[in-house]
Every structure is written in structure tokens, then in C-alpha cells.
A and B are shown apart, each in its own frame.
Chain A
Amino acid sequence: MTLTENLFENLRMELRRGCLTLAVLAQLKQEHYGYTLRKALAGRGMEIDESTLYPLLRRLEAQGLLTSEWRDEDKRNKRFYRLSGDGQLIFARLVKEWEEINAAVTNLL
């Protein structure tokens, strides 16, 4: 990887980092377990590595933005996540912030 490509990759990762949380919260308005959430996000153009998404879900739950429960589905015990009450409030504020940033950056570009 050349120096320029390396720099671009770092900046791209930085740009994506904040967006990932918003994307995950948006998708968890409906209940999902880890793998189906990853598929749903990928289906909408937001690819996330397993090693990034699964720890992120646990962190968001520890911060009180998600709730989870273990449940059997297709003969397998899975952990299902969805937005908590606090998560919904914070998500609404983040969406507003996102729209403002998006509008400002679009104006600049």
C-alpha cells in the first residue's frame, strides 16, 4: 500500500466510524441478532466487519442505547437487540445532527 493509499484508508475509516453507530441504531428500530443485522446493513450498502459490529452492539448495550434478550430461533439460541427508550431519544437527536452536518457538507462540496 502506498503512502497516499494508506492515508486515504485512515481518513476513510475515520469518516465511517461515526456513521456506523448511526447506521446500527437506525437498523435496530426493528429487532435483529448480530448476523441478520450485518446482512441487513450490507443489503443497504453499509458493509461492516464481524469483528467491528459484534463488539459495537455490546458497547451500545452497555451504554444503555440497546436492550437485548437471548431467544431460540431456528433451533439455535441467539441474542436479539433493539433500541431502548433512551436509545430512541438519542437516535432522534443524532439523526437531526446528521441532517445538519450532511446539509452543511453538501453546501461546502
Chain B
Amino acid sequence: MELLDRYLQAVKKHLPWQGQDDIIAELRANLEAQLEDKEAELGRLLTKEEMEEWLKQIGAPIQVAGRYQRQQYLIGPAVFPTYWYVLRLVLIWSTAIYSIAKVVETAVNGQGAEAYLNAALGLPWMWLISAAFITLTFAVIEMTGARFLSKMTPLAPMGPVWSPADLPQIDSSEKKPRSFALALAEVIFGCLFLVWLLLVPRFPFLMFGPGAWYLQASPYTLAPVCLTFYWSLVCLNAFELTWKIVVFIRGAWQGPKRWRHLSMHALSLIPLSILVTAPGHVLVQVKGSAPDAAGLVARVAEANSGIHKAVVLVVAIVVLQLIWGIVRASLDTYRNRVAAMQ
């Protein structure tokens, strides 16, 4: 009996404090009755070894007590799909925001490779903290639901509100072949865009509108690096247009264009890198003939610093988009290959 008392004491330690005496009293009555039956059957008391064997069969105290807990899991099956969806979303977005912030911070402060390494090493901690926060939030939702919602009949059947009519359309961007008219329109509009771009230096109002006359009259002018940037843009568009025309002439406009998009996305980093690496980050400068040119220099330096930060941010976003695109395209290619092999 002493062993049974010790066993019940161990079970009690793991029970919820509300009602633990009641549970132990009931469990004791049941186990004692069972023990009496066993002893009556044998015609003698159980030996210490037999008693140990019997208690072992009933189960470890922590497991027996666990069965009396109202909640058997941290996040249950009803909440888990939403938890998993939110967790993935939070991890993706927090990674993107963290990466952009660190790239911009490192570039703007002029730090080196060591800062990038430190930022990369900080990424797992950021994931851990985000996952812990989301898990904790959903555990609280689960606990609240288990304790209170089950007692509120009208609230219990609540679930995510949705309607089949709100479901997104089937993504046919990769599967539906492009029509001849669309491919032709792309070439025509590509030509018109390139012509418009080539006319901009001669007729700046085509890009800046009335602002072109203001720019001409103002004491500011664009730095020479902007011209390099402009010609890199022209080359990029001319290259893309040539590619489209070749594809059109070869009659291959119905083929997938995902990798072409990714290539152009990667090439778009060239003009951006020209702006980022501009000597002294100078994109706008004061005209030599401007009155009070010396007084304007400080304001222009401030403006250039702001523009440089914005361009660095754009580069970071473009790089992340490119990485994301490559990962998705590679995954799709891998899935298609696996599906083809099955």
C-alpha cells in the first residue's frame, strides 16, 4: 500500500491544482478495489515486485496525470492550419524586411563584408524569435478556445469566413500560351517605348512634363553619371526589344517566358548599379553659372545622400525579388521534372 500511496502522490504532483484531491480520491478508490480483486484472486498480498509490475502497467505518473489535463496539445488540429500558414507568411516577410533593412543599413553606413556576415548570422535568431512569438500567440488562442469557447455554444462552431466565389482564379500565366496578337502588340509597344526613350534628351518634357522647363531654369543640373545611366537604360530596352523580335520571327512566342523575365530582371541591376556607384554619390549638382552656387552645395549634398539611400533600397528590393523568382522557378522546374519521372 505504501507504494500505491507514493504512486498517487507522484500523480497528484502533475495534476491541475483545481480538483486534484477529488481526482486522487477517485483514482485511489478504483486502484484499491482493483488491488483487492487481484489479492483475492491470488489468495495473498502482492509482493513488492508484483506491485511494481502492476503500477508499471498502469503507466508513468506524469502520463496518467496528463490524461486528466483539459488541453493535451499546444496547438490543436482546428487551429494548426492557420498557424502554419501565418508562420510561413511571417517568416517570409520578416526575412525580406530584415534583409532589406540590413543591406540598406550596411550600404549607407559604408560598412564592409563583416557587417553582411553579422547580418546573415543574425537571421536564424530573427527566425527563432518570430517563430516563438507566433507559436506563443497561437498557443494562447488555442488555450482560450479550449477553456472558454467550448462553453459558449453560439461561438463554438466559428471558423474562417470564406465563400467559394471568393476563391482566386486559376493561375494560368505559365500554362496559357500567348496569342499572336499579344506577341505582336508587345513588339510594337516595345518599339514605341524605345523611340520615346531616345527622344527624351532632345525633348525632356516628354519625361518631366512642365518640370523640364523648371529644371532648365533652376540652378541644378543632373550629374554626368545620369547620362551613363540613361544610355544603359536605352541599351537594356534595345536588347529586350531585339530578343522579343527574334522570338516573334522564330514563331516561338507561345513558349514560356519566365526565364527571359528573370534574365531581364537580372540585367536591370546594371543601370541601378551605375547610380549606386556614382562617384561621391553625386546624381544632382549645382550649375557653375548659378548665383550663390556655394550656398546651394550643402543642400544638394543632402539631396544626393537621400537619393543614394533610396536607390540602395530599390537595389535591395530588386535583388530580393530576383532571388525569390529564381528560387520559385527552380522549384517549379524540379517539381515538373519529378512529376515527369513518375
Contact, CB under 8 Å: B59 / A49: yes
Min CB distance A41 to B, Å, is: 13
Contact, CB under 8 Å: B32 / A33: no
Min CB distance A53 to B, Å, is: 9
Segment of B20-28, B131-139, B179-187, B307-315 in the binding face:
B20-28
Contact, CB under 8 Å: B26 / A54: yes
Report the separation of the CA atoms of residues A33 and B63 in the bound assembly, to the nearest whole angstrom: 22
Report the separation of the CA atoms of residues A29 and B173 in the bound assembly, to the nearest whole angstrom: 63
Residues facing B in A19-49 (CB within 8 A) are: 33-36, 38, 49
Closest 10 CB pairs of A and B: A34-B30, A55-B67, A35-B33, A35-B30, A78-B29, A51-B59, A51-B64, A79-B26, A55-B68, A35-B34
Chain B positions within 8 Å of A52 at CB level = 67
Interface size class of B (residues with CB under 8 A): 10 to 19
Q: Does B58 contact A (CB under 8 A)?
A: yes
Q: Does B31 contact A (CB under 8 A)?
A: yes
Query: Can you sample 9 A-B contacts with CB below 8 Å?
Result: A35-B30, A50-B64, A51-B58, A51-B67, A54-B26, A54-B30, A55-B68, A78-B29, A79-B25
Chain B positions within 8 Å of A76 at CB level = 29, 32-33
Q: Does A106 contact B (CB under 8 A)?
A: no
**B 30-59 to A, binary, CB cutoff 8 A, 1 in contact else 0:** 111110010000000000000000000011
Interface size in chain A (residues, C-beta < 8 A)? 16
What is the chain A residue whose CB lies nearest that of B63? Answer: A51
Residues facing A in B60-82 (CB within 8 A) are: 63-64, 67-68
Chain A positions within 8 Å of B63 at CB level = 51
Chain A positions within 8 Å of B67 at CB level = 51-52, 54-55
Q: Does A2 contact B (CB under 8 A)?
A: no
Chain A positions within 8 Å of B32 at CB level = 76
Given contacts A50-B58, A51-B58, A51-B59, whether A58 and B68 have CB atoms under 8 Å apart is yes
Residues facing B in A45-97 (CB within 8 A) are: 49-52, 54-55, 58, 76-79
Q: Identify which of B26, B37, B58 contacts A34 (C-beta below 8 A).
A: B26
Report the separation of the CA atoms of residues A35 and B33 in the bound assembly, to the nearest whole angstrom: 7
Report the separation of the CA atoms of residues A76 and B63 in the bound assembly, to the nearest whole angstrom: 26
Chain A positions within 8 Å of B31 at CB level = 35, 50
Chain A positions within 8 Å of B37 at CB level = 35
Chain B positions within 8 Å of A79 at CB level = 25-26, 29
Report the separation of the CA atoms of residues A76 and B32 in the bound assembly, to the nearest whole angstrom: 9
Q: Of residues A52, A55, A76, which shows the largest number of chain B Cβ atoms within 10 Å of its Cβ?
A: A55
Report the separation of the CA atoms of residues A78 and B27 in the bound assembly, to the nearest whole angstrom: 9
